[in-house]
């Protein structure tokens, strides 16, 4: 079919769809007459234009005597909603125009991605799986889909203004509740885009009934063991009381943990007992916020007697809030996080998973106490290993809120107040940067380039009384989110992959290519050389880690005794420390205090091992996207297909496919490395925790007089008799590192070898002709290549 005729056919049928929302087949299309057209397009102007084009099309068909094979020429629709069909033919014979959209208001990337995805859905549907190459191609098309979502972790103490900040940045004033002095957010809250509907939604995930039962039991055990201990207002008793009172009122006092599992306490949330999620859906952010509050907030003024409210946050694991039509959240999820984890095991596990996956971390604190307030810095320090070498955080944003507040501002004019605020904000930024430069533990994971300071005012962004919008720095954070969305990169990767696949199909349909064998040999030799370079860089990294860890083992053996004494004996004395240590051993060596730093015996024992490798680990596995692992050797891996293109034009299409495959496998390996390197890094502490588990269980079993000394002695004896734990932890890390390196080499070799063989050594395969689709995808690829946006 000639291209002009095909374009006219596609135009006419698409025109009907765009004007009427009707979807028809080619057969039905040619049965149209003036009467049917008048019914479909009642407006005179559009109807006359369509009749004229329709007449021209039929004349061209008659003159050219061309038969239109519709199934090979037209793309599938992206939506079947709300469409009437003239008839119901076989799926492969439908002419389904692209979904109706306002192209002028959409960015280039969104239009291109939608079009190319439609094309590849059609190609996938037409490919059979009767031979190895066809099955290979279908799998490659399926692998084009990626679900890339950037996580932004938002940390900060109660009252720092996290909720107001998130509301202002995504321009949803009433989404997250804020402003109450007595209430605070008590659970993890994810905020992301609602891609499926137009409502505001909350997806509430509960802990399991078994987990709550365990928490009740362990809390009662703790209260019973520590009846005679000194109790501070901030200790565990207060936390347990607050949590139980939120859910049960005063009824929990005097009842057993079994009594508190009675179904009557959970009548309003049957989903909890049934192990299901609770979904709330509202038309406005304000309505959703009001309905969510009992699942997300704790209130110190809960009331008593008849006025008591039920708060379900103790049972909630996480709440995901979904916002419709929000460009800031297209590929970004904001997560409002508790400072240093959670005492509930299930929530704490989720906390670690989320923190380790954050590509950016925001530390939020009030501007007037930014240096004096230690909690924000303690949160950053305690989370540094989770977000740095043990995570994938690329940037830390230290956000000072309420930047419009300034003392004695009433004594100055509006202009003077503004100048004072701007000057003060600049001074604060300098002070914060200086403070960051002094944090040596954090600097092992992050350099100054990874750290940025913002002084923001959510209030002024909305009211603009003292500062203009730019001076509130909210627009800067909005732009930061827009950059994270990175629509261009996602689109280019998809289109580039599609271009490569269609190139291979077209190349496979070309018979009798003379230089296939020669090119195949060249590619295999190049791959062998490149894999040797990768293996060499990995071996150097392995030797570096082995040397550093050996030094760490020696340091650990020399210093562990003093570290233990400092923790076990030189802290608070008497019954107050008895309760703390009991909590530590009951929780596997980890204790999350309400305030202050987390206590972690396992990390303490592993500290010299971790210190010995932190800097080299960051260099070997950088979190920055543009910097590659193992000194960038995977990024530089190449089959040099561009070099082979010039003398071997007859296999140009196959080489195009191999180039895109090369980029795809490197991207896939980089993603795997970002995930697996966390396991490698955390393996040292995890191994020590496993070895220490036995003594924690023994220590937790002590009761009565002398319990504190018995716990201390049990821990000391166990560590003394297991000094070999440091060597074992070192070997565990090296084993995991070696396994990761082997996987990378094997995956590179296997994937590229399979691609070379199937693209250059496969003959006599019958594949459909997708030359028109290749042309369309190439056109879209060229658009992106020439786009001013940098990939």
Give the pLDDT confidence score for residue 681 in this predicted structure.
Answer: 97
For 649-663, the DSSP string reads GGGHHHHHHHHHHHH
Max mean pLDDT among 246-260, 306-320, 591-605 falls in 246-260
pTM of the prediction? Answer: 0.80
The answer to whether residue 413 is domain-embedded is: yes
- Give long-range contacts, CB 8 A cutoff, 24+ apart: 691-696: 691/722, 691/725, 691/728, 691/729, 692/589, 692/601, 692/602, 692/605, 692/718, 692/719, 692/722, 692/725, 693/588, 694/718, 695/585, 695/719, 696/585, 696/586, 696/588, 696/589
C-alpha closest to that of 758 among 139, 131, 133: 133
Alpha carbon distance 773, 685 (integer Å): 53
Give the pLDDT confidence score for residue 77 in this predicted structure.
Answer: 39
> CA 451: distance to chain centroid?
20
The answer to whether residue 181 is domain-embedded is: yes
Q: How far is CA 752 from CA 102, 157, 353, 493, in A?
A: 41, 50, 32, 18
- Mean pLDDT for the chain overall: 83
The answer to whether residue 669 is domain-embedded is: no
Q: How far is CA 516 from CA 39, 73, 376, 530, 749, in A?
A: 57, 30, 62, 21, 20
The pair phi, psi for residue 538, each rounded to 5°, is -70, -40
For 459-506, the pLDDT digits (tens) are: 889 887 778 889 899 999 999 998 888 765 778 889 999 999 999 999
The answer to whether residue 50 is domain-embedded is: no
Residues of the chain with pLDDT > 90: what percent? 52
Instruction: Count CA atoms within 13 Å of residue 584 on its CB side.
Output: 23
Q: Is 40 exposed, middle or buried (0-12, 13-18, 19+ CB in 10 A)?
A: middle
Assign residue 473 a region: left if phi > 0, alpha if psi is -120 to 50, beta otherwise? left
pLDDT over threshold 60, residue 309 = yes
Alpha carbon distance 139, 151 (integer Å): 28
With cut-offs at 50, 70 and 90, classify the pLDDT of residue 96. very low
pLDDT over threshold 90, residue 779 = yes
Give the pLDDT confidence score for residue 741 in this predicted structure.
Answer: 98
H helices, E strands: number in the chain: 28, 13
Q: Which domain holds residue 280?
A: 150-208+275-486
DSSP collapsed to 3 states, 348-364: HHHHHHHHHCEEEEEEE
C-alpha closest to that of 470 among 480, 481, 457: 457
The answer to whether residue 555 is domain-embedded is: no
Give the pLDDT confidence score for residue 297 in this predicted structure.
Answer: 80
Q: Are 150 and 518 in contact (CB under 8 A)?
A: no
pLDDT over threshold 70, residue 399 = yes
pLDDT over threshold 60, residue 24 = no
Beta strands, E only, 214-304: 278-282, 297-299
Max mean pLDDT among 150-154, 588-592, 621-625 falls in 150-154
Q: How many domains does the chain contain in total?
A: 1
Alpha carbon distance 589, 582 (integer Å): 10
The pair phi, psi for residue 286, each rounded to 5°, is -65, -45
Max mean pLDDT among 59-68, 127-136, 499-508 falls in 499-508
With cut-offs at 50, 70 and 90, classify the pLDDT of residue 1. very low
Q: Are 95 and 25 in contact (CB under 8 A)?
A: yes
In total, the chain counts a number of residues equal to 791
Task: Determine which of 188-202, 393-407, 753-767 has the lowest per-residue pLDDT on average.
Answer: 753-767
Give the pLDDT confidence score for residue 15 in this predicted structure.
Answer: 47
- Number of C-beta neighbours around residue 302 at 10 A: 17
The pair phi, psi for residue 493, each rounded to 5°, is -60, -40
C-alpha closest to that of 185 among 354, 336, 382: 336
Q: Are 336 and 191 in contact (CB under 8 A)?
A: yes
Task: Determine which of 395-399, 583-587, 673-677 has the lowest per-residue pLDDT on average.
Answer: 583-587
CATH code assigned at 318: 3.40.50.300
Give the pLDDT confidence score for residue 697 in this predicted structure.
Answer: 96
Q: Is 768 exposed, middle or buried (0-12, 13-18, 19+ CB in 10 A)?
A: middle
pLDDT over threshold 60, residue 446 = yes
The answer to whether residue 87 is domain-embedded is: no
Q: What b-and-e string marks burial along 93-130, b requiring 16 or more CB atoms within 10 Å of the CB?
A: ebbbbbeeeeeeeeebbebbbbbbbbbbebbbeebeee
Angle of CA points 469, 471, 473, to nearest 5°:
80
- Give long-range contacts, CB 8 A cutoff, 24+ apart: 28-31: 28/86, 28/87, 29/95, 30/58
For 606-623, the pLDDT digits (tens) are: 999 999 999 999 999 999
The answer to whether residue 160 is domain-embedded is: yes
Q: Which has more confidence, 735 or 572?
A: 735
The answer to whether residue 640 is domain-embedded is: no
Q: Are 171 and 462 in contact (CB under 8 A)?
A: no
The pair phi, psi for residue 589, each rounded to 5°, is 90, 5
pLDDT over threshold 70, residue 580 = yes
Q: How far is CA 554 from CA 285, 559, 561, 604, in A?
A: 57, 9, 13, 15
Give the pLDDT confidence score for residue 404 in this predicted structure.
Answer: 86
Alpha carbon distance 572, 186 (integer Å): 28
């Amino acid at each position: 079919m000639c291209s002009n005729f095909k374009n006219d056919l596609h135009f006419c049928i698409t025109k009907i769809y765009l004007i009427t929302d009707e979807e028809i087949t080619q057969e039905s299309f040619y049965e149209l007459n003036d009467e049917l057209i008048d019914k479909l397009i009642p407006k005179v102007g559009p109807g006359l234009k369509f009749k004229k084009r329709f007449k021209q099309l039929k004349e061209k068909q008659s003159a050219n005597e061309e038969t239109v094979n519709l199934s090979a020429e037209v793309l599938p629709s992206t939506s079947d909603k709300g469409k009437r069909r003239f008839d119901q033919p076989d799926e492969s014979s439908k002419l389904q125009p692209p979904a109706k959209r306002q192209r002028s208001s959409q960015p280039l990337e969104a239009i291109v991605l939608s079009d190319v995805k439609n094309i590849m859905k059609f190609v996938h549907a037409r490919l059979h799986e009767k031979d190895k190459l066809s099955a290979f191609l279908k799998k490659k098309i399926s692998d084009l889909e990626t679900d890339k979502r950037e996580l932004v972790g938002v940390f900060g103490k109660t009252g720092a203004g996290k909720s107001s900040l998130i509301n202002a940045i995504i321009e949803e004033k009433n989404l997250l509740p804020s402003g109450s002095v007595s209430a605070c957010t008590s659970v993890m809250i994810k905020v992301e885009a609602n891609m499926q509907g137009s409502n505001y939604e909350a997806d509430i995930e509960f802990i399991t009934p078994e987990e709550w039962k365990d928490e009740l039991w362990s809390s009662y055990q703790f209260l019973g063991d520590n009846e005679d201990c000194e109790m501070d207002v901030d200790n565990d008793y207060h936390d347990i009381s607050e949590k139980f009172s939120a859910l049960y009122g005063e009824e929990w006092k005097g009842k057993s943990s079994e009594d508190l599992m009675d179904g009557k306490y959970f009548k309003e949330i049957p989903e909890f007992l049934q192990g299901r999620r609770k979904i709330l859906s509202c038309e406005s952010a304000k309505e959703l916020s009001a309905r969510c509050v009992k699942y997300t907030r704790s209130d110190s003024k809960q009331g008593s007697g008849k006025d008591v409210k039920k708060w379900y946050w103790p049972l909630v694991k996480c709440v995901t809030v979904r916002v419709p039509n929000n460009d800031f959240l297209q590929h970004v999820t904001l997560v409002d996080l508790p400072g240093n984890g959670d005492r509930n095991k299930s929530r704490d596990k989720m906390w670690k998973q989320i923190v380790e996956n954050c590509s950016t971390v925001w530390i939020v604190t009030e501007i007037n106490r930014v240096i004096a307030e230690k909690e924000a810095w303690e949160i950053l320090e305690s989370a540094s290993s989770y977000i740095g070498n043990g995570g994938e955080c690329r940037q830390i944003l230290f956000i000072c809120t309420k930047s419009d507040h300034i003392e004695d501002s009433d004594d100055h004019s509006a202009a003077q107040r503004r100048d004072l605020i701007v000057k003060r904000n600049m001074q604060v930024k300098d002070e914060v940067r200086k403070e960051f430069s002094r944090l040596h533990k954090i600097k092992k994971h992050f350099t100054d380039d990874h750290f940025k300071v913002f002084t923001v005012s959510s209030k002024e962004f909305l009211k603009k009384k003292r500062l203009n919008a730019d001076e509130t720095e909210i627009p800067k954070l909005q732009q930061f989110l827009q950059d994270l969305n990175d629509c261009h990169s996602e689109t280019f990767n998809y289109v580039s992959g599609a271009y490569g696949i269609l190139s291979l199909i077209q190349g496979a349909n070309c018979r009798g290519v003379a230089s296939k064998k020669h090119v195949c040999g060249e590619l295999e030799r190049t791959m062998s050389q490149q894999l040797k370079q990768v293996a060499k860089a990995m071996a150097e990294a392995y030797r570096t880690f082995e040397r550093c860890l050996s030094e760490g083992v020696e340091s650990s053996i020399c210093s562990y005794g003093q570290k233990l004494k400092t923790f076990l004996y030189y802290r608070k004395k008497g019954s107050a420390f008895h309760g703390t240590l009991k909590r530590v051993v009951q929780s596997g060596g980890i204790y999350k205090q309400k305030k202050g730093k987390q206590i972690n015996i396992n990390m303490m024992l592993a500290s010299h091992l971790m210190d010995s490798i932190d800097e080299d680990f960051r260099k070997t596995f950088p979190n920055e996207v543009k910097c590659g692992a193992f000194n960038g050797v995977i990024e530089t891996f190449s089959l040099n297909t561009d070099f082979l293109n010039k003398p071997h034009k007859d296999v140009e299409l196959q080489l195009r496919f191999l180039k895109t495959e090369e980029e795809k496998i490197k991207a896939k390996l980089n993603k795997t490395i970002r995930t697996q390197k966390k396991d490698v890094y955390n393996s040292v502490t995890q191994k020590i925790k496993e070895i220490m588990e036995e003594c924690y269980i023994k220590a937790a079993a002590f009761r009565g007089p002398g319990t504190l000394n018995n716990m201390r002695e049990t821990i000391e004896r166990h560590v003394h008799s297991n000094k070999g734990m440091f060597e074992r932890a070192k070997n565990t890390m090296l084993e995991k590192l070696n396994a990761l390196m082997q996987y990378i080499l094997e995956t590179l070799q296997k994937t590229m070898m399979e691609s070379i063989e199937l693209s250059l050594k496969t003959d006599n395969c019958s594949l459909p002709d997708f030359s028109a689709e290749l042309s369309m995808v190439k056109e879209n690829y060229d658009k992106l290549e020439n786009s001013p946006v940098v990939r």
